[in-house]
Amino acid sequence: MRSFKKAIRVPIEKAENIRLMIADSGKLDPGRRIRVIGLEVRFLEIPVTEDIEEFETYDQEDPVFYNKWQSLEDRMKGSIPDEELDLLPSGWQILGKVMVVTIDPKIGHLKERIAEALLQMYPSCDTVVRDLGISGQFRLPQREVIIGNRTETINKENGCLFKLDVTKVMFSKGNLHEKALMSNIGANETIVDMFAGIGYFTIPMAVHAKPAKIIAIEINPGSYAYLQENIALNHVEHIVDALNGDCAELTPKGVADRVLMGYVNTTHHYLDQGIAALKESGGILHYHETTPESLISTRPAERIRQAASKAGRDVEILECRKIKKYSPGVWHVVVDARIT
């Protein structure tokens, strides 16, 4: 049976920065070799454990492993039936010393063996947790510890440290490009992050962009506690003011050069508050939404225009970009809009 694994292809001159970014996200497959492809136009083929937003993902045929026993499939081949082999997870998330993996219910009886094999592949990790989805207003993760007893960890991404308990709060390794983009804008500005979580956007912006001030609002008490810890962990107390509560009530008015609305599903319900937070002289709104593919070019921008018109303000749509597939036929998108 041929082995197919995911990979992306990038221009050689950009490859090292992209490789470092993917490694920070935990999506680089350390068991496979990076290789040069092409003759006249040369690319590097970088092995990854899951899709990378902004890049086309390929099936890499007959990948070259550093160690032939590195792949999970190879580790378990011969010990389980082929039909179960085909159901093994092809990707997982590494957060500090904790691995989070989705296991098909049809092979749930193999969860301990899968966890043991993963820990052998990644000896720096000591805990494996099974992802069972999310639920509730706070999008709390439903997770089962398979091996290990320490679910609190510190994850490093883009030069920033994030402390979290993987059984209590979400940490998306997706949005990598968007988080990197946000970390490079906002110098000397006042920024309001309306859905701060544990600091997904707030921390990299504070560390790298050096804004004058970030007001970070988070409603979930558990996430807010980690937000406070991460502010201290990254030494940005002088930049970030954290508030615990509903951004519908706590979002300040008329103070921001830039507003982040990095939530999905019901974000449009808070557009009035997001626009009101911007200075009278104007500012930039970064609005996230989950949108059916057929409405990407119309609905998010129209919602912003309607909210701005209601407030007596003008809108210039600067960009609408896809982040990642949210569900079949639905995309997570971001619209950048200048409000005046």
Amino acid at 276: A
CATH class of 71-150: alpha beta
Residue pair 155/162 in contact by the 8 Å Cβ criterion? yes
pLDDT in tens, the chain (340 residues): 344 578 998 888 888 888 888 887 778 887 788 888 876 677 888 999 888 877 888 887 667 777 544 578 888 888 899 999 999 998 888 999 999 999 999 999 999 999 999 998 888 899 999 999 877 666 688 899 999 989 999 999 888 999 999 999 888 766 778 888 899 999 999 999 999 999 999 999 999 999 999 999 999 999 999 999 999 999 999 999 999 999 999 999 999 999 999 988 889 999 999 999 999 999 999 999 999 999 999 999 999 999 999 999 999 999 999 988 888 999 999 999 999 9
2: Cα within 13 Å, side-chain hemisphere: 7
- pLDDT, position 308: 97
Domain 71-150 in the same topology as domain 1-66: no
Apex CA 239: angle with CA 238 and CA 243, to 5°?
A: 100
Measured distance CA(72)–CA(89) in Å, rounded: 8
Per-domain residue ranges for the chain?
1-66, 71-150, 176-339
Fold of 1-66: Alpha-Beta Plaits (3.30.70)
Model confidence, pTM: 0.78
- Of the CATH numbers 3.40.50.150, 3.40.50.2300, 3.20.20.70, 3.90.1310.10, which one belongs to the domain with range 176-339? 3.40.50.150
